[in-house]
Structure 1
């Protein structure tokens, strides 16, 4: 049984961490490693790319290098999306599912479940859960993480069906 799915996402810490973001980063370079998923996931990710909004949290779409339909970005390096990533190890960690891991919190936003992990540099990484493909969104320090996830939820729901990713 997938422990991550066994406990649904009503964790109050997620709400607090989503709204607790601070100052912006001075790094203006935008790059992202392109995932290498199988054929089915690649097609789903290409479908997601077509549905992504032109603006997220008020920032214009500026895709990272190298260009790929599996990656997208907004505001230079502020928000980076990668589709078709591997399942994060924390996603199957029983401490996360039970809400006992301070470094990772599970929660849902507008019908999309996410695993949230805080980075060392004040950024947050969200990985979709309960979807056929994993979508990772990295949000730099200073961005409104709740607005980012709200802005992306509709596209993820339409392009990536619910289910368990391989």
Structure 2
């Protein structure tokens, strides 16, 4: 016995062409919404506003930054800023220069794992998404590198790769 397909009364009141298009249009809209929401969670990057010598150091660092970091091309946000650099690794690695000193350095997180590369200490903070934030400490300008989960084999690799440039352009 075949079952009879029951169509809601609201749909039977619509003309046939509209009824036929209802499902494809609904599915298309769903796909558009889902694809549109797949962008990076950190779509907006807060641009630091350093002043004085810190701004000069950050501009010098920006001029020295590579166009490729660990095999990932540089794709800075628009409008461009000398204080922000982004390497598109989907998820992307973000470097910001001239950030404020992290408040956590005054509290219990001050003793968190802080790797040192070539005498440059990077204070680290594990983020809620599984990524890490590294901040170069004891420099004339604070440099922050945010590495989301999955952006690098070892989350510290981007900060370690940038160490020589930070040391060369921002005095301690």
User: What CA distance in whole angstroms lies between the structure 1 residues aligned with 2:109 and 2:44?
Assistant: 29
Task: Choose 76-85 or 116-125, whichever is displaced more.
Answer: 76-85
Q: 1:30 to 1:154 in 2, by over 3 A?
A: farther
TM-score (norm 1): 0.71
C-alpha contact 1:42 1:84 (8 A) present in aligned 2: yes
Report the 3-state secondary structure (helix = DSSP H, G, I; strand = E; otherwise coil) of the residue aligned with 1:105. Answer: coil
Report the 3-state secondary structure (helix = DSSP H, G, I; strand = E; otherwise coil) of the residue aligned with 2:114. Answer: strand
User: What CA distance in whole angstroms lies between the structure 2 residues aligned with 1:33 and 1:65?
Assistant: 12
Select the structure with the greater relative contact order (CA < 8 A; seq sep ≥ 6). 1
Structure 1 match to 2:139: 131
TM-score (norm 2): 0.69
Structure 1 match to 2:84: 71
Structure 1, gaps ≥5 residues long = 1-25
1:92 and 2:106 equivalent?
A: yes
Aligned-pair Cα RMSD in Å: 1.9
1:152 and 2:162 equivalent?
A: yes
Report the 3-state secondary structure (helix = DSSP H, G, I; strand = E; otherwise coil) of the residue aligned with 2:81. Answer: coil
Structure 1 match to 2:116: 108
Alpha-carbon deviations, 1:13-69, whole Å to 9, x = none?
xxxxxxxxxxxxx64475411111112111100000011122112111111233100
More helix by share: 2
User: What CA distance in whole angstroms lies between the structure 2 residues aligned with 1:57 and 1:122?
Assistant: 20
Structure 2 match to 1:35: 48
Structure 1 match to 2:69: 56
Report the 3-state secondary structure (helix = DSSP H, G, I; strand = E; otherwise coil) of the residue aligned with 1:149. Answer: helix
Report the 3-state secondary structure (helix = DSSP H, G, I; strand = E; otherwise coil) of the residue aligned with 1:44. Answer: helix
